[in-house]
Amino acid sequence: MVAAMLSCYSPTTTVFTPINSTPSTFAHRKLSEAKVEYDRCSLSIASVTCEFGYNITAEDTAAQQWHFLDSSMAKTRVRFRGEISVNRGSLFQVSDIEVRIVVTSNKENGLMNVHLQSSNSSLEINYFITDEGDIYTDAQILIFLRPWPKRLLDVLDIRSEVLDITFNDMLNWHVSNLFVHTSYGQSWYNSTYGADPLIVQNTTVSSYNGYIFGYYAAHGNLTFQNVHGQIGVILIPVNGRPSKLDSISASTLSATIHVEVEYGFTNWPTQPHTHVTNIHTRHGELYAFIPHGSYTNLSSTCSWLFARLQPFGNPNPEDLNEIYTYSELGWKTRVRIDDAILDGSEDLNNPLLNTISKHYLGEGSLWLRYPYSWFGSVEAQIDHGRLEFDATELEDFEKSEGYVKARRGKKGDSRLDIQVGTGAMDVHLGLD
């Protein structure tokens, strides 16, 4: 392991090679694109550039994972800012992973506050804040992945306390486990419909008070965790291949969650989806327009909940599906379930014939719509407030003050339970 302050040199090791200590034109262009602005200073006084290289080999297990860590303390964010970006590299770059670090400060001493430490599978940056006032420092960490030959990586781990993190598209790597964390920065991820995407089996993106946003391929296990910052996720199908989505999980304590598909489901393959979805926020709003697999559970304990779910056909008519929404103080809860996408396939069955659904709202207004292809039994109850219920093909219909029980059709075994404490309930079955 090699540790150093920001003065690039050539150590006697083949693990990495710092190439130069003069700012490159590309690095300064990237730095200007970042447009990091400080209210009281200019960062044009002092700068330094360092470069490192790492190789991934199938023979060395330790080298099948790579970590970048910004271990600066959270309080440094008043004087230390910047971005970590993961980019498609050059076919002709020397190493599988090349890292260029450009540090700019308004004073020479600001460069000395940045320390680097490297091993054969990791690179760490640490900013040490000093008592000397009015020092402001910016770090641009540019990570380049060589796109060919395609590499298989067990772990790619990018973590920061204060810096923004950006993943650009067309990286052309396969990663088993991707970890992305920035406590106070913004996280941006761009997986497009184009060629050479980054394919990840297990994606975990987290923050404490930053903003998580991006375009994510609907593949593997997707986990998004935030405490006080927002989550914005756009799901896109994997280009040119069936989806292998296993799970979607998103949670916040006090911020909005927004998870949706781009352009609806026009480009999604017609295939069974059996993934599990859990999206929960306690004090934030929840917006979801997502594919429903075998299990969907959505909750916004003390705020609005808007959800639209798209089921897909499944090969086994006896496979059970589950849909749950929950809010204690929802003000407005709107839930729509669409007809399952079957596209005339004789090998796929309608999952809405065997779905367990429960929708609970403690106080507020619940608006609920199930499609014509849903058949089964329903029971709806509101303790205090107005109940509006309308459906087609009803049998065994029972109705009293604040209560409805019925069966819709004969060919389905779905079960729908709806409960509202105080407020209003508006339910349509088979009308939309």
Strands 164-167 and 186-190: parallel
Q: What percent of the chain has pLDDT over 90?
A: 69
pLDDT of residue 243: 72
Contacts of residue 124, Cβ cutoff 8 Å, sequence gap at least 6: 68, 69, 70, 71, 116, 117, 118
**Which has the minimum average pLDDT: 58-62, 193-197, 365-369?**
58-62
Contacts of residue 149, Cβ cutoff 8 Å, sequence gap at least 6: none
pLDDT of residue 266: 83
Q: Is 277 exposed, middle or buried (0-12, 13-18, 19+ CB in 10 A)?
A: buried
Residue type, 94: V
Query: How many whole angstroms separate alpha carbon 125 and alpha carbon 132?
Result: 20
Neighbour tally for 25: CB within 10 Å? 7
38 pLDDT higher than 50: no
Nearest to 279 by CA among 223, 335, 202: 223
pLDDT of residue 109: 84
pLDDT of residue 203: 98
Strands 286-292 and 257-261: parallel
Structure tokens at 344: 């005339």
Question: What phi and psi values does residue 36 have, to the nearest 5 degrees?
Answer: -75, 120
312-342 burial, b for 16+ CB within 10 Å, e for fewer?
Answer: bbbeeeeeebebbbbbbbbbbbbbbbbebbb
Structure tokens at 190: 């761009």
pLDDT tier, 24 (very low <50, low <70, confident <90, very high otherwise): very low
Neighbour tally for 75: CB within 10 Å? 11
> pLDDT tens digit string along 7-22?
443 222 222 222 232 3
pTM reported for the whole predicted model: 0.89
Query: How many whole angstroms separate alpha carbon 179 and alpha carbon 204?
Result: 5
pLDDT of residue 222: 98
Residue 382 CA: distances (Å) to CA of 34, 386, 422: 53, 7, 7
DSSP 352: G
Contacts of residue 428, Cβ cutoff 8 Å, sequence gap at least 6: 368, 369, 370, 390, 391
Q: How far apart are the first and last CA of the chain?
A: 64
214 pLDDT higher than 50: yes
Q: What percent of the chain has pLDDT over 70?
A: 87
> pLDDT tens digit string along 247-282?
999 999 999 999 999 888 888 888 889 999 999 999
pLDDT of residue 18: 29
Query: How many whole angstroms separate alpha carbon 100 and alpha carbon 116?
Result: 12
Q: Is 367 exposed, middle or buried (0-12, 13-18, 19+ CB in 10 A)?
A: middle
pLDDT of residue 130: 80
pLDDT of residue 15: 26
Neighbour tally for 63: CB within 10 Å? 18
Is residue 310 within 8 A of residue 265, CB to CB? The reply is yes
Nearest to 55 by CA among 170, 145, 156, 175: 145
pLDDT tier, 315 (very low <50, low <70, confident <90, very high otherwise): confident
pLDDT of residue 63: 58
pLDDT tier, 35 (very low <50, low <70, confident <90, very high otherwise): very low
Q: Is 233 helix (H, G, I), strand (E, B) or coil?
A: strand
Q: Is 27 helix (H, G, I), strand (E, B) or coil?
A: helix
pLDDT tier, 358 (very low <50, low <70, confident <90, very high otherwise): very high
pLDDT tier, 177 (very low <50, low <70, confident <90, very high otherwise): very high
> Which residue has 């509006």 as its token pair?
388
Nearest to 124 by CA among 268, 3, 32: 3
**Which has the minimum average pLDDT: 91-95, 174-178, 188-192, 286-290?**
188-192
**Residue extents of the structural domains in the chain:** 207-432
